[in-house]
Structures are given as C-alpha cells and as structure tokens.
Amino acid sequence: MFHKEGFKIIFTALVVVIGLSLLANVFVENPTIRGGIIIALIILLLLVLQFFRNPKRNFLVHPERVLSSVDGKVVVIEEVFEKEYFNDKRLQVSVFMSPINVHVTRYPVGGKVVYSKYHPGKFLVAWHPKSSEENERTTVVVNNETFGDVLFRQIAGAMAKRIVNYAEAGQEVAQATDSGFIKFGSRVDIFLPLDAKIKVTLNQKVKGGISIIAEK
C-alpha cells in the first residue's frame, strides 16, 4: 500500500525505468553493462516504492497519551522555550526520519486544530539544532481534552523539498490519522506541557500512530 502523495512520482519513475530499460536493450550491446543498467534502474524504482509505502497498522486511540507522529528515532528530549505559539516553556520530543522510514505524518493527539501555519526556510540537515527555527516547516497545534494545546512541527531536511500539511484551523481530527507527508528525509518536533510524563528515551526507535511518546 502506497501513500497518495507518491502516486505521481511512482508513475513517473515507472515510466522512466521502463523507457530507459528499453533504450538500454536497443543501444547497449555489452550484455554485462546492459544488465547493470537495468538492475540499477530496478533498484531506483524499489527505493521510490519503499519511500512512499504506507503500511496498514492497527492504531489504538489513547485519549490520555500522546503517540509518535512519525516513524524514526528519538533525537531530542528537552525542556525548551517555544516562541512561535506558546511563548512559554514546553517539553520537546523530536523524531528524526531517515529516507528509509515511512514518511506519513500523523496527529499525535485528537481534538480541534487551532493553529496551522507554513514557514518557508532553509534546508539544513534535519538534526541541526537550528533546523526547527530556520528550515522550511509547518506548525500545527491541536487542542486536546487531556493535554490542552499540543504543537507538532514538520521540518524539512537537506533532502526534503516538499512538506505536505493537511491540517486546517477549525478541523476536528482523530489521533493517528494522516496529517501530512514530508518527502525525502526530515524531522518532527512535538511540544508538550511540562507536566507530561515522557515515555521514550533518546535513540529509541518509534512508529507513527503506534509508539507512546507521553502520558498524563
């Protein structure tokens, strides 16, 4: 199963692979070189397919828990001053996604979207300390009955050239449903109240819509 954001790219990649393979068959006489070209094209297609995969999962809604928005590795757990929306201290948990991770972004909590904004910016590597403030990014805040306002931020990385954000202010959203997609390497930051109990550790691998990030 593949995410809808990948349909056009997958189709284009398939056409290119078939076209170049046919040209290689016609114009490359050396069978070793011809075979190498075709194998390389197939590997390229497989990489595109795995990047846009959207595996089926049995999501369990946890009203008193915050779920990971994405697949990846926890790279930041710290108390910070969040200045875009809260202008106050919050607990930040950041998850880094490599190109081989599933890149669907999911709502960490259910509730009402009260803020959604896109910010153009740079394309620093996603683990850079300033990427959260300087890179291309989107900021979404969901008002949740248990945690109050929960902010999560999609951040483009050095390879990511497009962030897709479905959240619109005023929407009622369900936990673990699709909130967007980041193409080719990225990071998501989640900002929680200071009294939230963090349930992950640094370098822990997490799954979007499955792994518990925090609870009350």
- In this structure, are residues 189 and 153 in contact, taking their beta carbons and an 8 Å threshold? yes
- In this structure, are residues 215 and 64 in contact, taking their beta carbons and an 8 Å threshold? yes
- Of the candidates 116, 131, 186, 211, the residue annotated as catalytic is 186
Query: So what's the pLDDT on residue 184?
Result: 65
What is the residue type of 62? H
- In this structure, are residues 186 and 160 in contact, taking their beta carbons and an 8 Å threshold? yes
DSSP string, 162-194: EEEE---TT-EE-TTSEEEEEESSEEEEEEE-T
Q: What is the pLDDT of residues 178-204, one digit of tens each?
A: 999 887 668 899 999 999 999 999 999
Query: So what's the pLDDT on residue 16?
Result: 93
- In this structure, are residues 216 and 62 in contact, taking their beta carbons and an 8 Å threshold? no
Strand 172-173 relative to strand 186-192, pairing = unpaired
Least confident of 78-92, 102-116, 170-184: 170-184
- The DSSP H or E segment spanning 9 is helix 7-27
- In this structure, are residues 16 and 44 in contact, taking their beta carbons and an 8 Å threshold? no
Q: Is 210 left (phi over 0), alpha (psi -120 to 50) or beta?
A: alpha
Contacts of 171 (CB under 8 A, 6+ apart): 112, 113
Q: Whole-number mean pLDDT of the chain?
A: 89
Q: What is the pLDDT of residues 31-57, one digit of tens each?
A: 899 999 999 999 989 888 877 888 888
Predicted confidence band at 6 (pLDDT cuts at 50, 70, 90)?
A: confident
Query: So what's the pLDDT on residue 79?
Result: 97
The answer on pLDDT for 87 being more than 80 is yes
Active site residue 186: yes
Predicted confidence band at 80 (pLDDT cuts at 50, 70, 90)?
A: very high
Interatomic CA distance for residues 85 and 81, integer angstroms: 10
